[in-house]
Amino acid sequence: MSSPLATQPLSQAADLDGFWMPFTANRQFKARPRMLQSAEGLFYTDVQGREILDGTAGLWCCNAGHGRREIAEAVSRQISQMDFAPTFQMGHPLPFELAERLAEIAPAGLNRAFFTNSGSESVDTALKIALAYHRARGEGSRRLLIGRELGYHGVGFGGISVGGIANNRRAYTTLPNVDHLPHTLDLQRNAFTRGLPAHGAEQAEHLERLVTLHGAENIAAVIVEPMSGSAGVILPPVGYLQRLREITRRHGILLIFDEVITGFGRVGAAFAAQRWGVTPDMMTIAKGLTNGAIPMGAVLLEETLQDALMHGPQNQIELFHGYTYSGHPVAAAAALATLDIYQRDGLLTRAAELEDYWQQALHGLAGLPNVIDIRSTGLVGAVHLASRDNAPGTRGYEVFESCFWDGLMVRCTGDIIALSPPLTIERQHVDRIIETLGRAIQRTS
């Protein structure tokens, strides 16, 4: 039976009042809803039966495309066999198995997993582990957490505090003991670079200044996205991540990569850490972990971090942290089935194979009106549009909307159009994305 919304005229927005939509201009959306109904492969179908090419893997999460039967079957089997089991002082095999499977594809040494339900929870968990780790080693003065301008680390109080997107912080209170590195977006020097930008590695040196300012003995961790996704696909300048690694190591500061977007093949390797040859002490993951099918996240970390807390009486809880649904059996089953697909279909490296074609195609939009930068790596990309005077974000939104009604889902972050299609995409779909987006940009004054 189809839902009542499937037959509802788009103008009946009054019926949509109940759901307060996240990160959405609710009144604008409800005046002309974009309502999806089903999904298969690379396409959504909306409630009117229109096909929409998914240019964003849902919300950066459906890396293996939609409707993967193996995941649905694993979920269905698991929910029938055991719907829920606690992981506080109890166990069941699946999260143990999943932790091992993740260690096999993670950067060498990151062989411990703490499970969560989302990227935001993974970030808050990683920050808490960093603080607990230093304290357990007798370095409890290390309380300062360092993020980066324009960073997005979800919406928990930890995440918005180390995050650097003003709108996500303004209305709230944030943690004390937080500082930020400068961002690395530099249109003047790097616009239209193909691959990683040549300029900006020196921004990592700012960390030395923060060490001088606060004292290394007071700094617990630095958290960055290896590639900022939500702020509009900001790539790390050549050598930047290496510099961060050197400086953090020299001062005993933990380095956390937030790989919620970059994980699971998005940039051409299982994780950005591997693609760009820098291994952090901890990694936060979510989204692609279950192909978006069931909420799940995790922190992957070095065993030495866990070991530091494994002392004292055996009957003592080592880390006072966890979620009711940490290692949820159904989510773990979805994740295991997802990893099987990624590995069997070679999806963790597929973005590297398509990268040149993708980059070439995207850069074909370079001459269009208002395009001031194009950035890409792996199977992720952004078209950066000039903002209108006094109306930032409106041009990006219009392009996004125009794409949607023309059968393509993209993301807009202000005036940046971000793309991250499922890793199962073929060249003809890349062409279709570029054609549709090009038309939308041309149509938008």
> In sequence order, what are the beta bridge partners of 376?
381
Residue 65 touches ligand PLP, criterion: CB under 6 A = no
Instruction: Confirm if 123 and 309 have CB atoms less than 8 A apart.
Output: no
Residue 232 touches ligand PLP, criterion: CB under 6 A = no
Least distance to ligand PLP from the beta carbon of 120, Å? 3
Residue 118 touches ligand PLP, criterion: CB under 6 A = yes
Residues with Cβ within 8 Å of 107's Cβ and at least 6 positions away in sequence, in order, are 271, 273, 274, 279, 280, 283
Q: Which stretch binds ligand PLP (CB under 6 A): 66-74, 97-105, 114-122, 272-280?
A: 114-122
Least distance to ligand PLP from the beta carbon of 360, Å? 26
Site string for ligand PLP, 316-335 (x = CB under 6 A): --------------------
**Number of residue whose CB is nearest ligand PLP:** 119
* Nearer to ligand PLP among residue 156 and residue 329 (C-beta): 156
Instruction: Confirm if 276 and 226 have CB atoms less than 8 A apart.
Output: yes
* Nearer to ligand PLP among residue 118 and residue 436 (C-beta): 118
Answer for which of 229, 263, 265, 421 binds ligand PLP (CB under 6 A) is 229
**Number of shown-chain residues binding ligand PLP (CB under 6 A):** 14
Give dist(CA 324, CA 335) in Å, integer.
Answer: 18
Least distance to ligand PLP from the beta carbon of 326, Å? 15
* Nearer to ligand PLP among residue 284 and residue 370 (C-beta): 284
Residue 377 touches ligand PLP, criterion: CB under 6 A = no
Answer for which of 113, 162, 244, 286 binds ligand PLP (CB under 6 A) is 286
Least distance to ligand PLP from the beta carbon of 299, Å? 12
Residue 153 touches ligand PLP, criterion: CB under 6 A = yes
317 alpha carbon, distance to own chain's centre: 31
Q: Which two tokens stand for residue 375?
A: 């950035």
* Nearer to ligand PLP among residue 230 and residue 274 (C-beta): 230
Answer for which of 260, 379, 410, 412 binds ligand PLP (CB under 6 A) is 260
> In sequence order, what are the beta bridge partners of 417?
383, 412
Nearest alpha-carbon partner for 296 in 255, 264, 319: 264
Instruction: Confirm if 61 and 342 have CB atoms less than 8 A apart.
Output: no
Residue 162 touches ligand PLP, criterion: CB under 6 A = no
Give dist(CA 414, CA 29) in Å, integer.
Answer: 16
Least distance to ligand PLP from the beta carbon of 337, Å? 19
Least distance to ligand PLP from the beta carbon of 294, Å? 12
- State the residue for tokens 């995440």: 159
* Nearer to ligand PLP among residue 120 and residue 274 (C-beta): 120
Least distance to ligand PLP from the beta carbon of 192, Å? 24
Answer for which of 65, 95, 154, 378 binds ligand PLP (CB under 6 A) is 154
Answer for which of 46, 258, 302, 398 binds ligand PLP (CB under 6 A) is 258
Site string for ligand PLP, 206-225 (x = CB under 6 A): -------------------x
* Nearer to ligand PLP among residue 200 and residue 229 (C-beta): 229
Least distance to ligand PLP from the beta carbon of 155, Å? 6
* Nearer to ligand PLP among residue 124 and residue 398 (C-beta): 124
Answer for which of 120, 193, 338, 377 binds ligand PLP (CB under 6 A) is 120
Give dist(CA 114, CA 48) in Å, integer.
Answer: 42
CB atoms within 10 A of CB 390: 6
Q: Which stretch binds ligand PLP (CB under 6 A): 39-47, 172-180, 256-264, 309-317?
A: 256-264
Residue 230 touches ligand PLP, criterion: CB under 6 A = yes
Q: Which residues between 379 and 408 bind ligand PLP (CB under 6 A)?
A: none
- Per CB under 6 A, residues contacting ligand PLP are 118-120, 123, 152-154, 225, 229-230, 258, 260-261, 286
